[in-house]
Amino acid sequence: MLQGTRRESDHFIVYRHDSVSGKTQFCFKTPKRLGNAVRRNRLKRVMREFIRTHKSLWPDSSAVVLLPKYGTFELDFQQVSAELQQLFGHE
C-alpha cells in the first residue's frame, strides 16, 4: 500500500503519494455536490492553470490528488493560487 501525505486548507484537500510510474501525475476530483458542470469545469481549468504555472512546487515522481471543497468555485485564480501555493509549499 502506498503511503503519502494529506494536507487540508479552507477550500482544498491535497493528497500526495510517491508515483510508481516515475513521473508526476495529477488528478482533479470535482463531485457534483460542488455545483453544476459549468462551475466544476471552470474550477478544473483554474486548478490546471495553477499546476501549469507552478511546476517547481512539487517533487518529481509524485501522484497528487486535488479535491476542492464546497464554495471553492467562488474563488478567483489569485485566491486559488495563493491557497494551493501554501499547501504545496509545506511539502
Host H or E run for residue 57: none
Q: How far apart are CA 85 and CA 88, in angstroms?
A: 5
pTM to 2 decimals? 0.81
Query: Which set of grid coordinates corresponds to residue 27?
Result: 488528478
What pLDDT sits at residue 24?
A: 85
pLDDT averaged per 10 residues in sequence order, the chain, 91 residues: 78 86 86 89 92 81 88 87 83 49
Half-sphere exposure of 72 (CA within 13 A, CB side): 31
What pLDDT sits at residue 49?
A: 92
What pLDDT sits at residue 2?
A: 53
What pLDDT sits at residue 90?
A: 54
Looking at the chain, how many residues does it have?
91
What pLDDT sits at residue 1?
A: 41
